[in-house]
Chain A
Amino acid sequence: MLAIDVQDLRKTFKVQKNRGGLKGAFLDLLSREYTEVAAVKDISFQIPRGEICGYIGENGAGKSTTIKMLTGILVPTSGHLKVNGYVPYKEREQFVKGIGVVFGQRSQLWWDIGVIESFHLLRKVYQVPEHDFKARLDELVERLGLQDLLSRPVRKLSLGQRMRCELVAALLHNPSILFLDEPTIGLDIVVKTEIRQFLKSLNEQFGTTILLTTHDLQDIEALCSRVIMLDDGNIIYDGSLDELKNRWSRGREVHFQFGSNHSLTRLMELTQGLPVEWTPENDLAAKVWIPLEINVSDVLGRIVGSTDITDIKIVETNTDDIVRQIYQSGSANERIEQEKASERLLHV
């Protein structure tokens, strides 16, 4: 069964144009001009129950807008949308009882009252039976280590403490789908790791479907079996993280540590004929970039016998670099154009 089913989903906003100068200001008073901006452009995807899916893209790519449509906050301009069996914006009050939402940049706890009071209020709002609530709260508090924080007012919590409380708040009513909008933003590495582990175990234990947006690709690597990448309102990639890496990484780097002084020209001679690039690091170290078409062993075979090597390290291009490449180069567009070209070929 599908947790999320999205078809041709679109959201456009009217943005007011401000004409420049004094004359422009007067004209604006008399008649406003608007431009339509499409934040999400006819996207489609399906997420089965129990999946953890990462939703990534540059700032302004339309991630948050999508999440806000999926959670019933925004009404889509067009398209079909079914989450947890509901059309979110139509049956909002019933629908939101089955989902949990955490916005990394906004608090859903009440600022002035104690954490535990916020939880009790949420219990009533979500109509969770007292007994279930107690069991669930105890477990969440135990797992996230919140025992000492419960009586404090929310405004006195650190960001890391608050974020763990936000997670509890989003999970008290035992939702089957959890939406996380930048849940690890601004957190230190310890808290980040804790939250990732917690989410992973939540998914394994309860089969909670999780959709998260993030700019930290380590979140994705640690959690997601699947990634959807968004650019300018369009989905440019939907698949596994490994495939993304395979498809977009152009090569890997091998770092050499030598026992005695080496000469770069000698190394270049050894690898003559192979499209590799050498970069010297210091007298005793150098690195070589090897494109994917070439086997690492071919390069190593030529070097190892002829030089005095003390250490070798093979470095795969990391996800950050790959994603940066995609964002920057718009190579996603290349891919789409390639696909279009191949479609054309097929039709001919």
Chain B
Amino acid sequence: MNVSSMFSAYLDFIRIRFLTMLAYRVNYYSGIAIYTLNIGVYYFTWQAIYGGQGQLGGFTVAQMTTYVAVSWMARAFYFNNLDREIAADVRDGSIAIQFIRPYNYVVVKMMQGLGEGLFRFMLFMIPGMVIALLLFPIKLPTSGTSWAVFLVMLFLSFLINSQLNIITGLMAFFVENIDGMIRMKRAVVDLFSGLIIPISFLPLWLQSTMKVLPFQAITYLPSSVFTGRIQGTTTWNVLGIQLLWLVILLIPIVLLYRKARTRLFVQGG
């Protein structure tokens, strides 16, 4: 009974964040325009780069167009500011309130991230995708299995990205100002996840480095599956890589959170 009651409290954090986001939904209308614009910029840039060549870095022009659109729209869903939220809680001292409650702060943050994700999925990603489909020659798979696999992978992208955000946010317990770190993390995730340039375009040494880092599991691998570049049993490898990172990233979170408790120093009295 206790477990289910706690679970229902955690579900409430999803629900409340979703409703709060819904109240501020107008802010996200401009977001849809910005993401569509981004897709447009990359679409025309890649058109120019290809300049009639059939294939570059293992991508055809058509695949690249779909890849760009799908990747940006996935970002519309998985992106969140959990790192900033945690840093703000630490900086203004409201973290104290979080520690007088019988719940796990990191789990609550993750639930709020899910609430935001749910909102972004329904009111940001889907309408954005529809607009992108109307504007650009995007080819989406028709088989139900592809969609199902993609949605599972997208959810895992979200979890991995949120884990990275939580790790960055927890650093606020250890250093005084983490704005620089947050910005750096964002740039690294955008670049190394394959959002800006697919990993296969990078120099070989960098590609092999990327294989041992979690970032490609956020965009590059799921988008490659969805655009049909990765097929068959390799798909399961991709899913395995995502799950592996999901588990591995739990370790630094647990360690940092434990250490953070002893490092905490509540600002402002």
Residues of A within 8 A of B (CB): 13, 16, 59, 64, 68, 71-75, 89, 92-94, 96-97, 99, 101, 103, 105-108, 110, 112-113, 117, 120-121, 124-127
Using A93-B102, A93-B103, A96-B101 as known contacts, say yes or no to A106 and B6 having CB atoms under 8 A apart. Answer: no
Q: Dominant SS at the B interface?
A: helix
| Contact present for A126 and B102 (CB under 8 Å) | yes
- Bound together, the chains give a CA A105 to CA B97 distance in angstroms of 11
Stretch from B155-163, B164-172, B239-247, B258-266 contacting the other chain: B258-266
Using A71-B100, A73-B100, A124-B9 as known contacts, say yes or no to A106 and B94 having CB atoms under 8 A apart. Answer: yes
Q: Which range contains the number of B residues in contact with the other chain?
A: 20 to 34
| Contact present for B5 and A72 (CB under 8 Å) | no
How distant is A76 from chain B, measured CB to nearest CB, in Å? 10
Using A74-B266, A94-B102 as known contacts, say yes or no to A106 and B20 having CB atoms under 8 A apart. Answer: no
Residues of A within 8 A of B5 (CB): 124, 127
Q: In chain A, what residue has the closest Cβ to B104?
A: A93
Residues of B within 8 A of A68 (CB): 96, 266
List 7 tightest A-B contacts by C-beta distance, closest first.
Answer: A124-B9, A73-B99, A101-B100, A127-B5, A75-B262, A93-B102, A125-B9
How distant is B97 from chain A, measured CB to nearest CB, in Å? 5
| Contact present for B102 and A97 (CB under 8 Å) | yes
Any A CB within 8 A of the CB of B12: yes
> When the two chains form the complex, which single residue of A73, A94, A107, A124 contacts B266, counting CB atoms closer than 8 Å?
A73
Contact with A along B79-108 (1 / 0, CB 8 A): 000000000000001101101111110000
| Contact present for B97 and A106 (CB under 8 Å) | yes
| Contact present for A108 and B266 (CB under 8 Å) | no
Q: In chain A, what residue has the closest Cβ to B101?
A: A125
- Bound together, the chains give a CA A125 to CA B99 distance in angstroms of 13
Any A CB within 8 A of the CB of B53: no
User: Which residue among A13, A68, A71 has the maximum number of chain B CB atoms within 10 Å of its CB?
Assistant: A68
Q: In chain A, what residue has the closest Cβ to B263?
A: A75
| Contact present for B96 and A124 (CB under 8 Å) | no
Any A CB within 8 A of the CB of B2: yes
| Contact present for B16 and A113 (CB under 8 Å) | yes
- Bound together, the chains give a CA A75 to CA B6 distance in angstroms of 25
- Bound together, the chains give a CA A72 to CA B269 distance in angstroms of 16
Using A93-B104, A106-B93 as known contacts, say yes or no to A64 and B269 having CB atoms under 8 A apart. Answer: yes
How distant is A306 from chain B, measured CB to nearest CB, in Å? 56
How distant is B36 from chain A, measured CB to nearest CB, in Å? 29
Any A CB within 8 A of the CB of B19: yes
Residues of A within 8 A of B102 (CB): 93-94, 96-97, 125-127
- Bound together, the chains give a CA A292 to CA B94 distance in angstroms of 48
- Bound together, the chains give a CA A101 to CA B94 distance in angstroms of 13
- Bound together, the chains give a CA A64 to CA B261 distance in angstroms of 17
Q: In chain A, what residue has the closest Cβ to B21?
A: A112
Provide 6 A-B residue pairs closer than 8 Å at the C-beta atoms, listed in order of the A residue.
A59-B269, A71-B99, A73-B264, A113-B20, A125-B9, A125-B103
Residues of A within 8 A of B266 (CB): 64, 68, 73-74
User: Which residue among A93, A94, A96, A127 has the maximum number of chain B CB atoms within 10 Å of its CB?
Assistant: A127
| Contact present for A72 and B96 (CB under 8 Å) | no
Any A CB within 8 A of the CB of B8: yes
- Bound together, the chains give a CA A196 to CA B140 distance in angstroms of 66
- Bound together, the chains give a CA A89 to CA B99 distance in angstroms of 10
Residues of A within 8 A of B97 (CB): 103, 106-108
How distant is B16 from chain A, measured CB to nearest CB, in Å? 6
- Bound together, the chains give a CA A110 to CA B20 distance in angstroms of 11
Q: In chain A, what residue has the closest Cβ to B97?
A: A108
Residues of B within 8 A of A71 (CB): 99-100
